[in-house]
């Protein structure tokens, strides 16, 4: 049977085409990515518990508000890190699989910005998305032309749908660059601000920055003719984040988008690898709500009868990593940890 052949040849395929290193790196990435999304959730839980009085503390009202504002920035910064990693893995998957770990271990901000510009200029194509998400080459599927046409139509729609997620994520990233950068560098943050006017019932978080070239600014801005006193002349940008439910909801929506796309990316590349890159279909094919339900049902019927039975589809591997060292490395490792609480090992 074809599925048994694929099972027997899976490791050989990884070594020759897919790269064992890239296959397992992708699993490590997904595993860590999912854990990091939970850190964002924990920030939200901490704020909720503080609001509900479930965490004992002796903060006064103003200090507690300022602390909760910093927790908002902490959650935002984690989301921004996840976006950067997500965009980087997407960019890396456009190239040879064997290069993915190398590109990911040393990606730079310029690479992220270039990929963002590609999305904003409409240069990230449906074919690019299908490559990033491990979609099959439909022409290679052992199907009738009419069936291939249907599958290609669904996959093209799915790629367009996924592109809308990228555009939404990039817009969020651009809009929140300044507070994220101030959290990383400079800490020019004012937390615990009261509402800016009597019409607003929510407090604000402010970050202060300076821009000399407005044309290069990322995200939108509101021009103001207010002149700051001389002692405040070191900044000319104020970014305000409202402390309200809509802010939390926006963060949750982006986090949900990221989790969904990373899950699709991971599942599809597992399927691709297990099936030697041929005669397979993704188990997860995202489509918009308005896409033809009839066409999708037809695709599932073709997949269930002609594709899935021939696929090798084992349970996803559980990521395991074990450290084993002998002396003198083990002794040195213990000494470094004892003295510095950290140790770095160079493997040669």
Per-residue pLDDT of the chain (348 residues; tens, 9 = 90+): 677 887 777 778 777 766 777 888 888 899 999 999 999 999 999 999 999 999 999 999 999 999 999 999 999 999 999 999 999 999 999 987 788 888 888 888 999 999 999 999 999 999 999 999 999 999 989 999 999 999 999 999 999 999 999 999 999 999 999 999 999 998 888 888 877 666 767 888 888 888 877 777 766 777 777 666 666 667 888 888 988 889 999 999 999 999 999 999 999 988 888 888 889 999 889 998 888 889 889 999 999 999 999 888 887 767 677 778 888 888 988 899 899 999 888 887
pLDDT of residue 63: 92
End-to-end CA distance of the chain: 43
**Neighbouring residues of 149: CB distance < 8 A, sequence distance ≥ 6:** none
Q: 204 — phi, psi (to 5°)?
A: -130, 155
**Neighbouring residues of 312: CB distance < 8 A, sequence distance ≥ 6:** 3, 4, 6, 7, 10, 274, 275
CB atoms within 10 A of CB 345: 11
Q: Give the burial class of 124: count Cβ atoms within 10 A of its Cβ; 0-12 exposed, 13-18 middle, 19 or more buried.
A: buried
Q: What's the rounded Cα separation, in Å, for the pair 52 and 55?
A: 8
pLDDT of residue 329: 86
Task: Report which DSSP code applies to 211.
Answer: -
Q: What's the rounded Cα separation, in Å, for the pair 131 and 77?
A: 29
Q: What's the rounded Cα separation, in Å, for the pair 307 and 142?
A: 8
């Amino acid at each position: 049977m074809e599925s048994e052949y694929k099972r027997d040849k899976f490791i050989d395929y990884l070594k020759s085409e897919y790269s064992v290193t890239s296959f397992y790196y992708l699993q490590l990435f997904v595993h860590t990515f999912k854990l990091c999304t939970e850190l964002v959730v924990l920030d939200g839980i901490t704020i909720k518990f503080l609001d509900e009085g479930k965490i004992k503390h002796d903060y006064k009202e103003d200090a507690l508000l300022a602390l909760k504002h910093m927790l908002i920035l902490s959650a935002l910064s984690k989301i921004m890190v996840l976006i950067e990693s997500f965009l980087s893995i997407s960019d890396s998957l456009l190239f040879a699989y064997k290069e993915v770990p190398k590109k990911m271990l040393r990606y730079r901000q310029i690479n992220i910005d270039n990929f963002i510009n590609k999305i904003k200029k409409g240069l990230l194509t449906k074919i690019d998305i299908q490559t990033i998400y491990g979609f099959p080459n439909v022409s290679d599927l052992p199907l009738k032309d009419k069936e291939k046409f249907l599958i290609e139509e669904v996959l093209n729609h799915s790629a367009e749908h996924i592109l809308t997620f990228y555009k939404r994520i990039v817009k969020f990233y651009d809009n929140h660059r300044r507070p994220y950068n101030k959290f990383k560098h400079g800490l020019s943050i004012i937390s615990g601000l009261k509402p800016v006017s009597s019409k607003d019932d929510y407090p604000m978080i402010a970050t202060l920055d300076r821009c000399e070239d407005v044309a290069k600014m990322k995200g939108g801005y509101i021009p103001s003719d207010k002149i700051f006193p001389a002692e405040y002349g070191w900044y000319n940008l104020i970014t305000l984040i409202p402390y309200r439910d809509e802010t939390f909801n926006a963060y949750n929506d982006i986090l949900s988008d990221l989790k969904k796309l990373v899950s699709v990316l991971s599942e599809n590349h597992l399927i691709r690898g297990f099936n030697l890159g041929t005669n397979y279909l993704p188990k997860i094919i995202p489509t918009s709500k308005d896409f033809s339900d009839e066409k999708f049902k037809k695709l599932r019927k073709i997949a269930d009868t002609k594709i899935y039975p021939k696929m090798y589809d084992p349970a996803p591997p559980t990521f395991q990593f074990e450290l084993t060292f002998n002396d003198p490395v083990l002794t040195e490792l213990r000494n470094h940890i004892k003295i510095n609480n950290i140790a770095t090992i160079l493997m040669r």
